[in-house]
Amino acid sequence: MSKYDVLIRNGHIVTEHSIVQGDIAIKHGKITDIMVGKPLNAEAESEIDAKGLHVFPGLIDSHVHFNEPGRTEWEGLETGSRGLAAGGITSFIDMPLNSTPPTINRKNLALKKAAADRKSIVNARFWGGLVPENLNDLRDLFEDGVLGFKAFMSPSGIADFNHVDDVTIYKGMKEIAKLGSLLAVHAESTVICEQLAQEKIAEGKTSARDFTASRPIISEIEAVRRIITYAEATGCKLHIVHASSRKVVEVINEAKQRGVDVTVETCPHYLSLTVKDLEEKGGIAKCCPPLRDDSEVEDLWKAVANGEIDVIASDHSPAPPHMKEIKNGDYFNAWGGISGAQSTLNILLTEGHFKRGLPLEKIAQLTAANPAKLFGMFPNKGTIKAGSDADLAIVNLNESFDLQKEDLFYRHQQSPYIGKTFKGKVMTTLVNGEVVFHNGEIKKEMGRTR
């Protein structure tokens, strides 16, 4: 009789293609066997009874800001990775800009990797930055393992991570194309956003809706059209992050249809929050691009259902509470970034599956299979099959809960989702076959993951 490290019994196994009931056997961090239709005749060091539960491939969050080294008072790899584990997320790709120093050269990437090896309890991967001063560092970053590069077409808000001018981004894209990598962009028009903001502030108009109006959807569309043109000219693979509107997605899909190698991400907050939430919740719900109105949320869900969106990622961008305060009604000065990674799967289940009928297989595709394929991790990650890494999230779809501040594992227990009722609760998370989260508790101390 075979002897395994872990056996997961009787679960509903969810992949990007199907849902079947069966047993999953794990040894040395890998899924070695899956038995459907009858019990697997085997023993294991430990067994998990998943009867009545759904087993998802561990989510891959390709857009987080963990700010380490140098800015861990915002969020660190220890607390950030714990929040991910509690949300069923088993891998992340960390953005290059919020750490000090930023991940814009080989030396700085090594610092980031070393910190993750010590502190992260889930799989850590990294973006490299594209800024005006590091064109000669792109190859080094690629050779040292970054999964792609990130550039801002408008100011990032971080003093030592400059946004790119058109010449820099064109030259950078030519080099990234040579490397066979891809460029992710924050696409908002600097000219449109800065001019509108100056006009609003000069008129004393600083409300939530004034802030939102200063960063209109057309500013995203202008930047996306421009960067797509550069992608066509350079042959660079392109990824548009945090699209806030289906109108932006439509521009991207038009480019896909004429052969441009471009993909698009949206985020849970654009699928669940509106400008009304920004008014009511204050700075905790401020982000860039900003939250839109109800009709945009519904249209974005239609884009998700129709296969127009490639990836859903959190854009977890935390900051200390004092930086999120709205003072004297001025929404322009608070830090823009939402803490939400722990709730990604909860939102997709509650708002997507239960409210709008989004298939569970589609959720697995958008949060696991697609990012794994896009960033070169598939099939080791992103699916449930023999030979894949045992990165799994076990979920009780029948359990509802109200998110409380105390439930959050972030450094700062703040989120626009506190108080929201979710249906579908993550019970257990395994990373490389090891249980790191179970029944509301973290089960792994800091340490290296693969």
Give the whole-angstrom CA distance, residue 135 versus residue 307: 35
- Looking at the structure of the chain, the number of domains it has is 2
Residue finishing a domain among 374, 397, 431? 374
Instruction: Please report, for the domain that includes residue 144, its CATH number.
Output: 3.20.20.140
Is the distance from CB of 33 to CB of 40 less than 8 angstroms? yes
* pLDDT score of 150: 97
Q: Each residue's pLDDT tens digit in the chain (450 positions)?
A: 568 999 999 999 999 999 999 999 999 999 999 999 889 999 999 999 999 999 999 999 999 999 999 998 999 999 999 999 999 999 999 999 989 999 999 999 999 999 999 999 999 999 999 999 999 999 999 999 999 999 999 888 888 899 999 999 999 999 999 999 999 999 999 999 999 999 999 999 999 999 999 999 999 999 999 999 999 999 999 999 999 999 999 999 999 999 999 999 999 999 999 999 999 999 999 999 999 999 999 999 999 999 999 999 999 999 999 999 999 999 999 999 999 999 999 999 999 999 999 999 999 999 999 999 999 999 999 999 999 999 999 999 999 999 999 999 999 999 999 999 999 999 999 999 999 999 999 998 765 544
The verdict on residue 192 lying in a domain is yes
The verdict on residue 447 lying in a domain is no
The verdict on residue 382 lying in a domain is no
280: buried, middle or exposed (CB in 10 Å: 19+, 13-18, 0-12)? exposed
Residue finishing a domain among 374, 398, 423? 374
Is the distance from CB of 260 to CB of 238 less than 8 angstroms? yes
In the sheet that 128-129 helps form, which strands lie side by side, from edge to edge? Answer: 128-129, 149-152, 182-186, 237-240, 262-266, 311-312
Q: Could you give the 3-state DSSP secondary structure of residue 221?
A: helix
- Could you tell me the pTM of the whole model? 0.96
* pLDDT score of 450: 46
The verdict on residue 379 lying in a domain is no
Q: Are residues 348 and 403 in the same domain?
A: no
Q: Are residues 43 and 74 in the same domain?
A: no
Q: Are residues 249 and 112 in the same domain?
A: yes
Q: Are residues 28 and 105 in the same domain?
A: no
Check residue 133 and report its DSSP letter.
T
Instruction: Please report, for the domain that includes residue 419, its CATH number.
Output: 2.30.40.10
Residue with tokens 């802030």: 211
Q: Are residues 125 and 139 in the same domain?
A: yes
The verdict on residue 380 lying in a domain is no
* pLDDT score of 448: 53
Q: Are residues 105 and 36 in the same domain?
A: no
Residue with tokens 């070695």: 32
The verdict on residue 448 lying in a domain is no
Q: Are residues 340 and 415 in the same domain?
A: no
The verdict on residue 328 lying in a domain is yes
Residue finishing a domain among 322, 352, 374? 374
Q: Are residues 38 and 113 in the same domain?
A: no
Is the distance from CB of 323 to CB of 334 less than 8 angstroms? yes
The verdict on residue 381 lying in a domain is no
Q: Are residues 21 and 50 in the same domain?
A: yes
Q: Could you give the 3-state DSSP secondary structure of residue 5?
A: strand
Provide the domain limits for residue 322. 58-374
Count, residues in the chain: 450
Q: Are residues 62 and 50 in the same domain?
A: no
Q: Are residues 159 and 204 in the same domain?
A: yes
Q: Are residues 394 and 370 in the same domain?
A: no
Give the whole-angstrom CA distance, residue 282 versus residue 312: 24
* pLDDT score of 37: 86
Distances (CA, A) of 303 to 243, 248, 313: 11, 11, 15
